[in-house]
Chain A
Amino acid sequence: MKITADEVRRIATLACLEFDAEGEARMAVEMSRILDYVDQVRGAAVGEAGAATASAEGRTRADEPAASLSVAEVARAAPRFERGHFVVPRVIGGE
């Protein structure tokens, strides 16, 4: 699977990442090589067992209020936190 620099840019936009021209070129080469290897799954004969996809069983607990993190504890980990809120750049009218 050949990945182009354009394709790297498209995926980087989805992934919220950025590469310079050299980084894009390197990523295109590395991704192409790795995808060439993993491409073998596309033609694999999986038989009946593989008809169903793997899934994990989970269970939910009762929806009961319980102690949780305090606002102060959350605030301590945040890069910017003021008056009970995470501070982010202006969104409305900002972009």
Chain B
Amino acid sequence: MSDRASAEARSAESISRNVAGGSLRAEDLLDEVVSRIGASDPKLGAFVHFDPTEARGALERCPREGKLAGVPFAAKDNISTRGTLTTCASRILEGYRSPTDATVISRLAGAGAWVAGKTNLDEFAMGSSTEHSVFGPTSNPWDTSRVPGGSSGGSAAAVAAGIVPFALGSDTGGSVRQPASFCGVVGLKPTWGRVSRSGLVAFASSLDQIGVFSRSARDCARVLGVIAGHDPLDSTSSLEAVPDYEERLEQGLGGVRVGVVDGTWESLDAEMRSSFERSLGILRSLGATIDRVALPSLGLSIAVYYIVANAEASANLARFDGIRYGRRASGDLSLRETWVRSRTEGFGDEVKRRIMLGTFALSSGYYDAYYGRAQQVRAAISAEFRRAFEDVDLIAMPTTPSVAFRKGEKLDDPLAMYLSDVFTAPANLAGIPAISVPADVSAGGLPIGLQFLGPHFGESLLLRAARAMESEVSLPRIAPGF
């Protein structure tokens, strides 16, 4: 069977059709997943919790009908799953079992999908390489000496290696799109508020959004259709009606106005720049028009992001104090010593660094200069995107400034690691949807993603663009060797 035929057979769309039609037993899929994890995961480290008995329980609780009947999926380990481990790859949540399912998990279960296992991440979703995990790093299925990106690297690797047809991640500054690009899969960050965040362990609440990894735009559209929509448990989830994302998927890009942003891609290295230019050529051949748009404040995005995200993280992570859940430091300690020791022993270096930066930005004497100012620049970035979308239907941008980097390459340089989010963080700041779709392969055999950004609730057009792109580029849907 060709790679493409094999990937098609393992797609969510194909599995659900065959399970609902009775030609495929969901129980056989569990055996397949067990076998694939056994064969692939020792090389990847994509899964941090996989228990066949728990997976069977999840499978048995699901109906054999619905848009995702019988489909296995993986969930990033910062998304709560009832009764099973949810650790955020942190020592401070060692052994923690959530008493509830996240809304996305219960909605997927209602549509027939079942959680196969939980995937690795940078601790509390803070990182861009999945190296900051108490469980150790995850490897990129295309080249195991390289990172899969992050922070949702385990989910990206699980989909790219063909273990599951789709996976959930969370995207605060690019944590779905950047690993999707590095691993050669589709990665969608929906509009902020499009998908309930209830049950997602909060990192930076005004930026966090649960997103989808898949091997095709169609599967991504199907999953989004299931998880999108208002949730009474998340007061920030939108009341905006959920369209049928699959309905217009094949309508192509004829007449669609695509914007490219001055100053975003011209300074890339030659290979990344020519790949992006090739993608623009493909978009033109599909009937899209390419226009330049100006986003003058975009260059400030990373600076703004690392003030706002860390400030919110320092507040959100204050709840981890060793009292109500998680790990508590032992010994004859006062209450304050219990808080300080539990946090100091429980958090890793990167999380501590971000809590410190966020606490600094919110502290007396610095609040206005850093946090207040960053929020003003953020508002300016949002306004610039709104103006740009008056002239174009969507914006095309590289997803990442480079292909997947080597393990350890940026571990000792936090700022260099932060700058790998330069093209992805803007969408989070503006709350707009964005998708990364595989567009090319480098001379060294590594995938290169193309990113589309759209106006609020513009997911239908993003998915259409992703579908049009994947129909034109012939890339392996499952990483070679898996």
Interface residues of A (CB under 8 A from B): 3, 7-8, 11-12, 14-19, 27, 30-31, 33-35, 37-42, 44, 46-47, 49-54, 56-61, 69, 73-74, 76-80, 86, 88-91, 94-95
Contact = CB atoms under 8 A, between A and B. Distances in A.
Contacts of A51: 376, 379
A18 B341 contact: yes
Interface of B: 96-100, 192-193, 206, 232, 235-236, 297, 300, 302-304, 306-307, 314, 318, 321-328, 333-341, 343-344, 347, 352-353, 355-357, 359-360, 363, 369-370, 372-380, 382-384, 414-415, 418, 429, 431
Contacts of A27: 352-353, 356
Contact of B379 (A19, A52, A73, A79): A52
A59 B429 CA distance: 21
A91 B335 CA distance: 7
Contacts of A35: 357, 360
A62 to B, nearest CB: 9
A92 B346 CA distance: 26
Secondary structure type dominating chain B contacts: helix
For the complex of A and B, list the 7 residue pairs with the smallest distance between their C-beta atoms, beginning with the closest: A49-B383, A50-B380, A79-B328, A53-B375, A73-B99, A50-B376, A77-B325
B415 A33 contact: yes
B376 A17 contact: no
Given A27-B353, A86-B324, A76 B336 contact: no
Nearest to B368: A42
Contacts of A17: 340, 343-344, 347, 352, 355-356
With most chain B CB atoms within 10 A of its CB, the pick from A7, A52, A69 is: A52
A88 B303 contact: no
B356 A11 contact: yes
B29 to A, nearest CB: 30
Contacts of A50: 297, 376-380, 383
Given A34-B414, A41-B370, A88-B335, A79 B380 contact: no
Contacts of A79: 322-323, 325-328
Nearest to B318: A16
A50 B48 CA distance: 42
Contacts of A53: 372, 375-376, 378-379
A88 B334 CA distance: 9
A34 B413 CA distance: 10
